[in-house]
Chain A
């Protein structure tokens, strides 16, 4: 089973709201990722967690706050977003056991910031 699940599928929020995106995988993967993807562009890496520790933060604004409660779950907390943050947010996971391991993506959360 190569499934990564994400909730919600769609989210509309105002600039003053606080919301969270959730991601879950049960493949025993030890690396999890958040990406942001704008229309007609490739995914852009935001954060990487390896063995539940944040290993990469691509200089993402603090209004995005990742959290990894355990090896199967990854959250992205959102606060005071801007309209330009509207995008598809993708979660991915990989086994992180070697250079050939593959990242599997969830279906994404389509976020609209009003």
Chain B
């Protein structure tokens, strides 16, 4: 079983749409969670960290459900510039401190 499982996508949505990505992780001891964004042929860039209380950054909202080991990312009012691959990332704990576990990524295309 993979450490992080992510919606396969791809998602193709019109501008202005709301889109949600989901992800599950297998290690209940995991402590830190992130969403990274990766544009084609570029490096991953941190979009936001994910906290149990949920957090919002403009049009982006991230949620964490520790009981279900489930992470989500909601994008409201999609823009063309949101087109990218979104990586769900979980950080290990203890002996795996420092190691990031990546989901396969969900590709989003926003069309005009």
Residues in chain A within 8 A of chain B (CB atoms):
31, 33, 41-43, 45, 48, 50, 55-56, 88, 90, 94, 96, 99-100, 102-108, 110
B10 to chain A, nearest CB (A): 11
Identity of the chain B residue whose Cβ is nearest the Cβ of A43 in the assembled complex: B102
Identity of the chain A residue whose Cβ is nearest the Cβ of B104 in the assembled complex: A42
Identity of the chain B residue whose Cβ is nearest the Cβ of A102 in the assembled complex: B46
- Point out the residues of chain A lying under 8 angstroms from B105, CB to CB: 42
- Point out the residues of chain B lying under 8 angstroms from A33, CB to CB: 98
CA distance A45 to B90 in the complex (A): 13
CA distance A31 to B98 in the complex (A): 8
Best-buried of B46, B98, B104, B105 by chain A (most CB within 10 Å): B98
Residues in chain B within 8 A of chain A (CB atoms):
31-32, 34, 41-46, 49, 87, 91, 93, 97-100, 102-105
Decide: B98 and A96 in contact? CB cutoff 8 A: yes
- Point out the residues of chain B lying under 8 angstroms from A31, CB to CB: 98
Q: How many A-B residue pairs have CB under 8 A?
A: 48
- Point out the residues of chain B lying under 8 angstroms from A107, CB to CB: 42-43
Contact flag A102-B49 (CB < 8 Å), given A42-B87, A48-B99: yes
Find B100's partner among A55, A88, A96, A103 (CB 8 Å cutoff).
Answer: A103
B91 to chain A, nearest CB (A): 6
Decide: B93 and A99 in contact? CB cutoff 8 A: yes
CA distance A110 to B105 in the complex (A): 20
B7 to chain A, nearest CB (A): 14
Decide: B43 and A90 in contact? CB cutoff 8 A: yes
CA distance A48 to B103 in the complex (A): 19
Contact flag A45-B99 (CB < 8 Å), given A102-B46, A107-B42: yes
- Point out the residues of chain A lying under 8 angstroms from B46, CB to CB: 102-104
CA distance A43 to B99 in the complex (A): 12
- Point out the residues of chain A lying under 8 angstroms from B41, CB to CB: 88, 110
Decide: B102 and A42 in contact? CB cutoff 8 A: yes
CA distance A31 to B97 in the complex (A): 11
Decide: A100 and B31 in contact? CB cutoff 8 A: yes
